[in-house]
Chains A and B, each alone.
Chain A
């Protein structure tokens, strides 16, 4: 099976802009989770979707949002970018949330 894919792999944006990141889960997986990885805060949970419904959301501001489509592909959006949003954004897919398989991530740099 193909693994989790994320696009784009690298992104440079300016403060105030918005960005959309995409994630395609492993075939058959209906749960998609998003995490932010930074050197200071480590890996932090953003949100989780299952069958197009957000089941859980981490402690991030409303500028961070996401959605999941009927084919289980997911997108996350960050509006009004801040310098502190620079991070590696990881997507993980799972058939049941318990065992999650991670993609390579999208490296976002905000200047």
Chain B
């Protein structure tokens, strides 16, 4: 079965620090990958997605992610975090049937000002 692993459970950064959150998926075929963010008290929002093409995808709020097929990875990055980036971040892959998102356990990011 497909699975998604997020290696960092809780990341604590100071404002202006760079961010990289790891995500690895298990399926070796064609994948559609996503990063979602859940701000405190808010609903899940799509940050960015990868379906095909350029492996470096840019999302909202200055986030980007790189799809590395050989490493089964889709890491999320941001050059300089802000206090408002404090949230929980989820990596997800669409299942083979294309009908369900399989999520990682999530990474809580805390940014101190």
Contacts and interface: CB of A to CB of B under 8 A. Distances in A.
Contact of B46 (A33, A50, A101): A101
A90 B105 contact: no
Interface in B57-76: none
Interface stretch (A41-49, A61-69, A73-81): A41-49
Given A42-B105, A97-B98, A102-B44, 6 more contacts: A33-B100, A33-B101, A43-B92, A44-B103, A48-B99, A97-B100
Contact of B43 (A55, A58, A99, A105): A105
Tell me the dominant secondary structure on chain A's binding face.
Answer: strand
A45 B44 contact: no
Interface of B: 32, 34, 36, 42-46, 49, 51, 90, 92, 94-95, 97-106
Contacts of A44: 103
Interface residues of A, number: 23
B104 A98 contact: no
